[in-house]
Chains A and B, each alone.
Chain A
Amino acid sequence: GDSVTQMEGPVTLSEEAFLTINCTYTATGYPSLFWYVQYPGEGLQLLLKATKADDKGSNKGFEATYRKETTSFHLEKGSVQVSDSAVYFCALLIQGAQKLVFGQGTRLTINP
């Protein structure tokens, strides 16, 4: 079946550090890939997405590239801020199935 595996958390970094959160997937079809972010006490917000191989999604300094050969969609940011502290979810969507399959989430804490 379709599944998403994310890097185990929690992840704690200092402000201005480089961030990578790994995400790999298994899919029966050709999925679109997403990163969502959940700030404390809030719902999920779309951070970025990519719909085909080699596409790069980017938003708010975050980037992720759809790598079909390694079935990965790793999230990166060059310099994190305290305000980036949140839970990050990688997810896939199979066209036509219309349900998001989520990874387990990675809690990120940034210390000043």
Chain B
Amino acid sequence: DTAVSQTPKYLVTQMGNDKSIKCEQNLGHDTMYWYKQDSKKFLKIMFSYNNKELIINETVPNRFSPKSPDKAHLNLHINSLELGDSAVYFCASSQGWKRQRRGDTQYFGPGTRLTVL
């Protein structure tokens, strides 16, 4: 009954490869997010989707491409991986952007630790 799940939990790969991280939420939320946590634990938004529509893209390199096949899923595909992509990637979801709720709480997945060698 996990609320926000991500796969895989760990991903080790070589520079130049292409990889994907999957995220699913069973909370019935409309909005999903990707955040990146660097080695110093700093967290920054990358993307946000509302009901399959992209609403936030925070100047992320276009090697990163999110895809939302339906509102319960938001996947992250990364092309031509670089050493600097090594980080923990968190997926999150919330009830919704369009509902304009104050304090709209975001619920986070367990994270995917990506290591690029």
Docked Cα-Cα span, A51 to B105, in Å, equals 11
Beyond known contacts A36-B108, A95-B104, A101-B45: 19 more, CB 8 A cutoff: A34-B103, A43-B90, A43-B109, A43-B110, A44-B92, A45-B108, A46-B105, A49-B103, A49-B105, A51-B103, A87-B41, A93-B103, A95-B102, A98-B48, A99-B56, A99-B58, A100-B106, A105-B41, A107-B41
Q: What count of chain B residues pass the 8 Å CB interface test?
A: 31
Mark A residues whose CB is within 8 Å of B. 32, 34, 36, 38, 42-46, 49-52, 87, 89, 93, 95-96, 98-102, 104-105, 107
Mark B residues whose CB is within 8 Å of A. 4, 31, 33, 35, 40-45, 48, 50, 55-56, 58, 90, 92, 94, 97, 100-111
Docked Cα-Cα span, A28 to B35, in Å, equals 22
